[in-house]
Amino acid sequence: MRTPDEAPEARTRDMGGGSFEESYASWRASTLGRITDGLEVGLIFDLLGDVKGLDVLDVGCGDGALMAELSRRGATVSGVDPDARAVTAARRRADTEGHSYTVLAGRAEALPFADASFDCVVAIAVLCFVERPEIALAEMNRVLRPGGRLVLGELGKWSIWAAIRRIKGWSGSRTWRAARFRTSRELRRLVASQRLELRRIEGAIFYPPFARAARLMAPIDGWLGRRGIAGAAFIALWAQKPG
């Protein structure tokens, strides 16, 4: 999962290379990563609902962890990522774990799929790294079938996690310098610009990026998210395409 604290796309670039899979595995093996990833995945699937028998696209699929879970839940899954290492890692996961999803190289602003190809489109921590998010969102809308569901997950602008990322950008990280974090209001406006109907928006990860804080606050994180978004490191929504 692409997380607010350790988006491997950014981390591997900042390190100047290294194993793509190892960067993801290291995050998920940590206490902070395990708890945070679990909360994000739980919220994403809560917004997606039952995916059995549906065609689902994961935009910015990373190493394929979300695609694997979608496949386990009965979806027919496709993924796209601009990073060749991600495509290789996701395909390797499919071979190793026995999944039958499809992974292509491509950018969110020019998705390599026909119009109305998918029942659901998922994009987690993607728009913050895209120069023209309105074009990426238009592409997601294009490949979505009428009545289909779009699920977005983004890094909340006014959180401690985002503040740390901004400091990294000011300190020389090219990736985080270019990233743009958004408020729930900005995400609502982007969705509305595509005439998508917002059905639900919710926050998660209300603790600072420390393992002890994660252990203490994880049990009430969902309760906090249902009552407001202020301070959330992760903002997720689902919107429906009319039709």
How high is the pLDDT of residue 119?
A: 98
Q: Which CATH architecture has domain 8-240?
A: 3-Layer(aba) Sandwich (3.40)
Q: Which residue positions in the chain have pLDDT lower than 50?
A: 1-18
How high is the pLDDT of residue 4?
A: 37
How high is the pLDDT of residue 169?
A: 85
How high is the pLDDT of residue 12?
A: 32
How high is the pLDDT of residue 24?
A: 78
Q: What is the pTM of this model?
A: 0.89
How high is the pLDDT of residue 204?
A: 96
Closest C-alpha to 63, from 34, 25, 35: 25
**Inter-residue contact 231 to 156 (CB < 8 Å):** yes
* pLDDT 10s digits, 177-236: 888 899 999 999 999 999 999 999 999 999 999 999 999 999 999 999 988 898 999 999
Q: Which two tokens stand for residue 15?
A: 């390190």
Is residue 79 classed exposed, middle or buried when 0-12, 13-18 and 19+ CB atoms within 10 A define those classes? buried
How high is the pLDDT of residue 168?
A: 85
Closest C-alpha to 9, from 87, 100, 120, 93: 87
Q: CB count, 10 Å around CB of 186?
A: 16
**Inter-residue contact 60 to 81 (CB < 8 Å):** yes
Q: What percent of the chain has pLDDT over 90?
A: 76
Domain boundaries, the chain: 8-240
Measured distance CA(44)–CA(23) in Å, rounded: 22
Residues 6 or more apart in contact with residue 68 via CB below 8 angstroms: 93, 94, 97, 99, 101
DSSP state letter for 98: T
